[in-house]
Amino acid sequence: MVINGLDILLRNPEMLKNRRVGLIANQTSVSMQLEYSWVLLRRAGVGLARIFSPEHGLFAVEQDQIAVTRQPDTGCQIVSLYGDSEQSLAPARELLDGLDLVLFDIQDVGSRYYTYVNTLALFMEAASGLDIEIMVLDRPNPLGGELIEGPLLDPAFHSFVGVMPTPVRHGLTAGEIAHFWRDYKKLDLNLSVIAMQGWSRQMLFPETGLPWVPPSPNMPSFETAEVYPGMCLFEGLNVSEGRGTTTPFLLSGASFVDPEALAERLASVPLEGVVFRPTWFRPTFHKYAGEAIGGIYLHVTDHARFRPFATAVAMTCALRELWPEQLEFLESVYEFRDDIPAFDLLAGSSAIRSMILGGAPAETVIASWERDEAAFAAIKPTFHLYDN
């Protein structure tokens, strides 16, 4: 059984005595008994000054890219770090005044796109040079800590879904990635991590013995988190990523998709650990709301061999090959940027989209980020806090 950083901290709350504490949290900030951290900290006599909530809000009420302006009453000031402007993503200086410790306790899902550790990174930058300790109460990377996948982020494509130059699937915990970011940015920061007990790098979330609390509205299960590092790319296409269904990211499709033709084409690509089931579905909101559309359901058959990012890129190649006139790369505002297509912000550069539009086969596109993976694999162990 894995014991999270929060539960370990609560064994010795005296270490927070006489400190003015801020807490970056959402509904995943729970103990092994599923009690919220802010409740437990105040019960232990901790002087909790304010709570900072990430995208989606404290209880993950809002959908993606929706400004969080109203929050439930918890008896403590709550500050949203996801408003209607890019400036809202980091705390204003006056919100840090009077604090000498900020705890970060949110369940991440192990992908560069997922914005919670990006909130941590921006908070760390805001606190750099101030007399404020940042303490990460560590939690498992649901995808394990060994496998990495995808290209590194080109700094020119920086956005809230691309803050740190890591592969898409980075294989680090929140505590580990905080150490990476402090070193990379050379931040003047007092950083500490309350490490987990019982977690090893080969563990996937079901092996931890911990309950899954959905960290965001469209992350209902570990199965969703497993495919997310790839299927989030579809946010940049005129293809539904399954929002508006009970199985987001596992489902994808569009009005122009012939499910059988797409499944047949994907079966010819040498992808391991996944089966593509042709299907139809009707989203209740988001893309194609109320419309019955054709698509694919992903079934992961081998966790060790499945590569979500390669799978989504291969699916995009197949969509482009089969429906070149219908498939579109969206160019509307995405995470406060309107000058770069969303697909490129997610991929970390324009290279993958350019290759797909140029007709490169999926195998060639997939091979294009091998050098980036090797470069990150060489430095990644420097930041490991846990053994294999």
Q: Tell me, what CATH number does 159's domain have? A: 3.40.50.12170
H or E, element range at 265: helix 259-267
How many degrees, rounded to 5, is the angle at CA 347 between CA 343 and CA 349? 95
Shared domain for 184 and 134, answered yes or no, is yes
| pLDDT computed for residue 75 by the predictor | 76
The pair of structure tokens assigned to 25 is 């949290």
Identify whether residues 179 and 259 lie together within a single domain: no
Co-location of 197 and 243 in the same domain: no
CA 278/CA 261 separation, integer angstroms: 9
198 belongs to a structural domain: yes
Question: What's the distance, Cα to Cα, between the start and end of the chain in Å?
Answer: 16
Q: Concatenated DSSP letters for 312-362?
A: HHHHHHHHHHH-TTT--B--S-BTTB-SS-HHHHHHTSSHHHHHHHTT--H
Query: What is the H or E stretch that residue 77 is in?
Result: strand 77-80
Say if residues 94 and 130 touch (Cβ distance below 8 Å): no
Same domain for 56 and 134? yes
Q: Which residues of 258-286 are buried (b: 16+ CB within 10 A; e: fewer)?
A: ebeebbebbeebebeebebebeebebeeb
229 SS3 class? helix
Specify if 164 maps to a domain.
yes
Q: How far apart are CA 290 and CA 23, in angstroms?
A: 40
Closest CA to 107 of 10, 42, 199: 199
Q: Do 350 and 201 reside in the same domain of the chain?
A: no
Q: Are residues 209 and 228 in the same domain?
A: no
Q: Is 195 left (phi over 0), alpha (psi -120 to 50) or beta?
A: beta
305 and 180 within one domain:
no
**Distance separating alpha carbons of residues 200 and 177, to the nearest angstrom:** 16
Q: What's the number of domains the chain is made of?
A: 2
Residues 277 and 142 in one domain: no
Does 101 reside within a domain? yes
64 in a domain, yes or no? yes
Q: Is 123 among the domain residues?
A: yes
Query: What is the Cα Rg of the chain in Å?
Result: 21
Residue 369 is classified by DSSP as: T
Residue 388 domain-assigned (yes or no): no
Q: How far apart are CA 193 and CA 177, in angstroms?
A: 11
- Does residue 109 form part of some domain? yes
DSSP assignment of 94-125 equals HHHTT-SEEEEE----SBTT-THHHHHHHHHH
**What letter does residue 296 receive in the DSSP assignment?**
E
Q: Do 87 and 168 belong together in one domain?
A: yes
CA distance 53 to 72: 11
226 and 209, same structural domain? Answer: no
Range of the domain at 366: 222-373
| Rounded-to-integer distance, Cα 86 and Cα 69, Å | 15
DSSP 12-72: -GGGGTT-EEEEEE-TT-B-TT--BHHHHHHHTT-EEEEEEE-TTTTTT-S-TT-------
Running DSSP on this structure, what letter comes out for residue 237? B
Same domain, 294 and 149: no
Whether 80 is in a domain gets the answer yes
Q: Render each residue's pLDDT in the chain as its tens digit; 388 residues.
A: 999 999 999 999 989 999 999 999 999 999 999 999 999 999 999 989 999 999 988 987 877 766 666 677 777 889 999 888 889 889 999 999 999 999 999 999 999 999 999 999 999 999 999 999 999 999 999 999 999 999 999 999 999 999 999 999 999 999 999 999 999 999 999 999 999 999 999 999 999 999 999 999 999 999 999 999 999 999 999 999 999 999 999 999 999 999 999 999 999 999 999 999 999 999 999 999 999 999 999 999 999 999 999 999 999 999 999 999 999 999 988 888 899 999 999 999 999 999 999 999 999 999 999 999 999 999 999 999 998 7
| In a shared domain, residues 320 and 240 | yes
